[in-house]
Amino acid sequence: MAKPMEQITWQELEIGAVVTEVGNARQYETGTWRSERPVVKKEQCIKCGVCWLFCPDACIVRAAEGHFEADLTYCKGCGICVKECPVGCITMVSEEE
């Protein structure tokens, strides 16, 4: 696993800051950006997968029970899933609550 970004020195960077490790976006936990989180009423979810399709960060995952929910390690709280859900079963809740 690559060094955390805040520990990399200028000498350790590849020429052109090329990233040679594949799939390392997973190491970048963007969940801290969020001010609101999407909350799914799972009993209302029709399991259509529209939220999964539209999530720009690909952080929607399918739970064992079959409904969809956001992986809060990566979810930035953009609210697109709320906008796109055809049955309105997702609401944004402030992280302060």
Partner 1 sequence: MGKERKGVEVSIAIAEAVAQANVDVIAAYPITPQTHIVEHLADIVANGELDAEFVPVDSEHSAMSVCCGSAAVGARTFTSTSSQGLALMSEIFFIAAAMRLPIVMALANRSLSSPLSIWNDHSDVMMVRDAGWIHVFVENGQESYDNMFCAFRMAEDPNVMLPVAVNLDGFILTHMIEPMEYEDDELIKQYLPDFKMKNVLHPDKPVSMGCFGMPEIYTETQMNREVGVRDSYPHILKAWQEWGKLTGRYYKPIETYRADDAECCIVTMGSYGETAMEVVDALREEGEKVGVVKIRLWRPFPFEEFDKAVLGKKTLIVIDRAISFGGPGGPVASELRSALYKKEGAPTIVNYIAGLAGRDVSRKDFRNIIIEGMKKAASGDTDGFTLYALRG
Handedness of CA 27, 77, 50, 57 (dihedral sign): negative
Which residue's CB is nearer to partner 1, number 10 or number 66?
10
Question: Footprint of partner 1 on residues 18-37 (CB under 8 A)?
Answer: 18-20, 22
Does 10 sit near partner 1 (CB under 8 A)?
Answer: yes
Cβ-count burial of 13 within 10 angstroms (0-12 exposed, 13-18 middle, 19+ buried)?
A: exposed
Dig out the tokens for 45 from the structure: 């979810």
Which residue's CB is nearer to partner 1, number 6 or number 96?
6
**Binding footprint of partner 1 on the chain (CB under 8 A):** 5-6, 8-11, 13-20, 22
